[in-house]
């Protein structure tokens, strides 16, 4: 009984799995760094991405909330990684900054080999999957859902890659992905309207359609978006812009007119 209660509430990463110290002492007994992200503080909302003819397009809004307050309104949640990939994150923003640091170290040490080869999106995805899963096993997760997209020359020519990893280590590769609320609001649209080899304009239109629905129906999204694309020529993160919203339905004006007490 006591050992069981310890693994749920207490023992930090220093306590090996097999030991059951007598008298259920609390987390501090482990000594040293008992760090765990119990709940996220500054969070970003959904990221959506899809493959198109020339590569991968990714989009998200530029807001970061502190609980229910919209604290930061100009946050870049999509960054380039190496020459071949872009990464977008939702969830705890400080954990995303930490992940970017790990990726920096990774790409730097890879560059120092100076062997003409560079890390592609598949390798970055694999690396991040290991990082996320190992952290989750230590009960100290990086509280993010990450989207990795990129294009790299492979044996069959230019291979487009789009994958996702979340905080517990679930990872997969798909033609279109979304995190957070995007799973419920954007994926139905993407499943119905995505097709192979879309042009850039078509892809942007589809992404904007999803972003607009998220703006209307996700309380933590804001009307300031960034779109990023990655092709064989490299990554481009476009400057932020807003979408036009429509509020002119006749039913929105004076809804209680026909039914008193109704909203």
Partner 1 sequence: MTGSMDLPAKGGFSFDLCRRNNMLEKNGLKLPGFRKTGTTIVGLVFQDGVVLGADTRATEGPIVADKNCEKIHFMAPNIYCCGAGTAADTEAVTDMVSSQLQLHRYATGHESRVVTALTLLKSHLFRYQGHVSAALVLGGVDCTGPHLHTVYPHGSTDTLPFATMGSGSLAAMSVFESKYKEGLTREEGIQLVSDAICAGIFNDLGSGSNVDVCVITKGKTEYLRNHQLPNPRTYASSKGYSFTKGQTEVLSTKITPLKQKVEVTGGGDAMEE
> Which residues here bind partner 1, judged by CB under 8 A?
1, 5, 8-9, 184-189, 191-192, 209-210, 212-213, 216-217, 249-252, 255-256, 258-263
Residue 98 to residue 89: CA distance in whole angstroms: 12
Catalytic residue among 37, 45, 62, 179: 37
Residue 66 to residue 222: CA distance in whole angstroms: 14
CB nearer to partner 1: pick between 112 and 192: 192
CB nearer to partner 1: pick between 7 and 134: 7
Question: Cβ of 16: how many Cβ atoms within 10 Å?
Answer: 7
Give min distance, CB of 46 to partner 1, in A: 12
Give min distance, CB of 85 to partner 1, in A: 28
CB nearer to partner 1: pick between 71 and 209: 209
Residue 262 to residue 251: CA distance in whole angstroms: 12
Does 232 participate in catalysis according to the annotation?
A: no
The pairs formed by 243-248 with CB atoms below 8 angstroms and a separation of 24 or more are 243/208, 243/211, 243/212, 243/215, 245/212, 245/215, 245/216
Give min distance, CB of 251 to partner 1, in A: 4
**Cα angle for residues 209, 213, 214 (degrees, 5° grid):** 115
CB nearer to partner 1: pick between 56 and 186: 186
Give min distance, CB of 168 to partner 1, in A: 17
144-154 and 64-66 strand pairing: unpaired
Which residues does the annotation mark as catalytic?
37
């Amino acid at each position: 009984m006591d050992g069981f209660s310890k693994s749920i509430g207490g023992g930090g990463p220093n306590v090996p799995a097999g030991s059951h110290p007598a008298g259920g002492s609390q987390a501090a007994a482990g000594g040293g760094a008992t760090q765990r992200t119990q709940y996220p503080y500054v969070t970003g909302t959904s990221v959506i991405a899809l493959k198109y003819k020339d590569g991968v397009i990714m989009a998200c809004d530029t807001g970061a909330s502190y609980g229910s307050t919209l604290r930061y309104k100009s946050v870049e949640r999509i960054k380039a990684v190496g020459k071949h990939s872009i990464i977008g994150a939702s969830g705890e923003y400080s954990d995303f900054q930490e992940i970017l640091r790990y990726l920096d170290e990774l790409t730097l040490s890879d560059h120092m080999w100076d062997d003409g080869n560079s890390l592609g999106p598949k390798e970055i995805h694999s690396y991040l999957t290991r990082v996320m899963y190992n952290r989750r096993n230590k009960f100290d997760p990086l509280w993010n859902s990450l989207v990795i997209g990129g294009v790299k020359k492979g044996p069959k020519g230019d291979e487009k890659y789009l994958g996702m990893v979340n905080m517990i280590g679930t990872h997969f590769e798909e033609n279109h992905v979304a995190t957070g609320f995007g799973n419920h609001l954007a994926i139905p649209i993407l499943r119905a309207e995505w097709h192979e080899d879309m042009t850039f304009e078509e892809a942007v239109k589809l992404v904007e359609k999803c972003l607009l629905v998220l703006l209307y129906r996700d309380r933590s999204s804001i009307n300031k978006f960034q779109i990023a694309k990655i092709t064989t020529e490299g990554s481009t993160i476009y400057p932020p812009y807003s979408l036009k919203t429509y509020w002119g339905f006749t039913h929105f004006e004076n809804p209680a007119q026909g039914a008193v007490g109704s909203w």
